[in-house]
């Protein structure tokens, strides 16, 4: 079974707080249970995404790194 991503965000080159703000906005448009992926280059976004997921209750599915690009997958929380 492959993972279906409902929305993909390119946040490369953006600095704090833009990656999180754009992610929060995009997440609003997803239905519960849908997945959002984001690509970022700001190293600070790694702890920021984890903290955002934890405090908003949207589960963190995956985090990986390829070169200078960080890849995050988040799941919109079920209500």
Give me the active site residues, please: 16
Nearer to another protein, 2 or 27 (CB): 27
Contact yes or no for 39/69 (Cβ under 8 A): yes
In which element (H, E) is residue 61 found?
A: strand 60-66
Which backbone phi and psi does 65 adopt, to 5 degrees? -135, 135
Alpha-helical (H) ranges within the chain are 18-28, 45-56
Q: Answer yes or no whether residue 20 interacts with another protein by CB under 8 A.
A: yes
Contact pick of 3, 25, 29, 62 for another protein (by CB under 8 A): 25
Nearer to another protein, 12 or 34 (CB): 12
Which positions touch another protein (CB under 8 A)? 13-18, 20-21, 23-25, 52, 54-56
């Amino acid at each position: 079974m492959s993972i279906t991503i409902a929305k993909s965000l390119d946040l490369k080159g953006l600095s704090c707080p833009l990656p999180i703000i754009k992610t929060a906005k995009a997440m609003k448009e997803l239905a519960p249970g849908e997945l959002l992926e984001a690509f970022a280059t700001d190293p600070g976004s790694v702890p920021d995404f984890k903290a955002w997921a934890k405090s908003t209750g949207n589960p963190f599915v995956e985090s990986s790194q390829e070169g200078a690009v960080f890849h995050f997958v988040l799941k919109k929380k079920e209500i």
